[in-house]
Amino acid sequence: MRRKLAAGNWKMNGCKADLAQIKALCAAHETATVDLLICPPTTLIGAAAEICADHALQIGGQDCHAQASGAHTGDISAQMLADVGARAVIVGHSERRSDHAETSDDVRAKASAAHDAGLQAIVCIGEHLAEREADRTLNVIGAQLADSVPGDASAENTVIAYEPCWAIGTGLTATPDQISEVHDFIRDRLVGRFGPEIGQAIRLLYGGSVKPGNASQIFAVQNVDGALVGGASLTSRDFSPIISALEGAVEVS
């Protein structure tokens, strides 16, 4: 059985005072039955990792450069993230694809860099509203999946996060049927590419306005192994109920 994962992406939010939220999550989930991950801004990764040193909560980065080092002013390598205590890194988030014109080839290179540094790559894929309305969702997802995921992907080094772009930060959430269709499609493609042992073991997260009020409904969908949560992960008050909902889904399954 795939172990569930509740991951939080703080995006460009958080200063030193907000490390109190990390401490609160550690206190609230000392005996977590699912994997926990927070990806704060790079400035907080080292301090957050120290807080979580003896806890199940792990810390990750929000992006990395494809190269291990070099003349790349302002960028962070995967090795640098690992060096300060990160265990994972998000790559290919829709905001990186849109705001920085990252291609799926770029995402694959970053995921490979994460693997080389011993980090788990959380590879994000998702369609825009116009693509869904044109009934192109599965075409888009299939292409992004094929081009963004490295050939050495495994359950240990890769997680796939489906985040429909039209549901990120909008308050809109895909319906259970929409989520099911895409997650089942992703699972079939992973099995077809990597074989049943690896393809069935890689975890699939849903992301897109996941909140305490809708988490249980989302986690009840087959092939949803957890969530990549944005705004609701910024405080223990909001993220903790989502974690508890995921733990409840484990108990039911």
What tens digit of pLDDT does each residue of 81-94 get?
999 999 999 999 99
DSSP 190: H
Per-residue pLDDT tens for 173-197? Answer: 799 999 999 999 999 999 999 999 9
8-state DSSP, 237: H
Q: Of 65, 93, 115, 183, which residue is the catalytic one?
A: 93
Whether 93 is catalytic is yes
pTM above 0.95, yes or no: yes
Domain that holds residue 152: 5-252
Give catalytic status of residue 50 as yes or no.
Answer: no
Average pLDDT, the chain: 96
Query: What are the CA-CA distances from residue 195 to residues 137, 153, 161, 192, 202 (Å)?
Result: 24, 11, 20, 6, 11
Judge whether residue 152 has pLDDT over 80. Answer: yes
Residue 244 parent element (H or E): helix 236-252
In the chain, the number of structural domains is 1
Least confident of 62-66, 207-211, 234-238: 207-211
* Residue appearing with tokens 């087959």: 222
- What is the CATH number for 18? 3.20.20.70
Three-class SS of residue 6? strand
User: Residue 38's closest CA among 66, 65, 17, 18?
Assistant: 18
Quickly state the pLDDT bin for 171 (edges 50, 70, 90).
Answer: confident
Q: What tens digit of pLDDT does each residue of 54-68 get?
A: 999 999 999 999 999
Would you state the pLDDT for residue 253? 64
Q: Which of 102, 131, 163, 183 is catalytic?
A: 163
Task: Identify the residue whose tokens are 């990806």.
Answer: 39
